Amino acid sequence: MKIGLIILGIVGFIGLLAYMSMGQKQHRVEVCVEFQGQKNCRIASGPTRDAALRTATDNACATITNGMTESMACGHNPPASTKWLD
């Protein structure tokens, strides 16, 4: 009896994870940023357009900046280009 409940719980948990990961629409975006003469592009996805845009911008800035101050300054600039992929 206990084993059956444990198996049922595990199957239910796996089903919940699958539903949560596949049930939400993901927005994909390619963002290109320019900072101090350098340009970089990254693709990211997120549950909302704002989240996807922020993630792509942060990722693009991370590889062309040195340190948190530059990364934040880069992230506050509008992207050089934005292309929605969804």
Alpha carbon 50 to its chain centroid, in Å, reads 10
Q: Which domain holds residue 68?
A: 26-84
Q: What separation, in Å, do the N-terminal and C-terminal C-alpha atoms of the chain show?
A: 47
Provide the pLDDT for residue 83.
Answer: 97
79 within some domain: yes
Provide the pLDDT for residue 23.
Answer: 59
18 within some domain: no
19 within some domain: no
Residue with tokens 């509008």: 78
Number of domains present in the structure of the chain: 1
Which comes out higher in pLDDT, residue 11 or 47? 47
Q: How does pLDDT run across 16-70, given as a tens digit for each residue?
A: 666 666 656 899 999 999 999 999 999 999 999 999 999 999 999 999 999 999 9
- The four Cα atoms 15, 17, 23, 25 give a dihedral, to 10 degrees, of -160
pTM (two decimals): 0.72
Which comes out higher in pLDDT, residue 9 or 66? 66
8 within some domain: no
4 within some domain: no
72 within some domain: yes
59 within some domain: yes
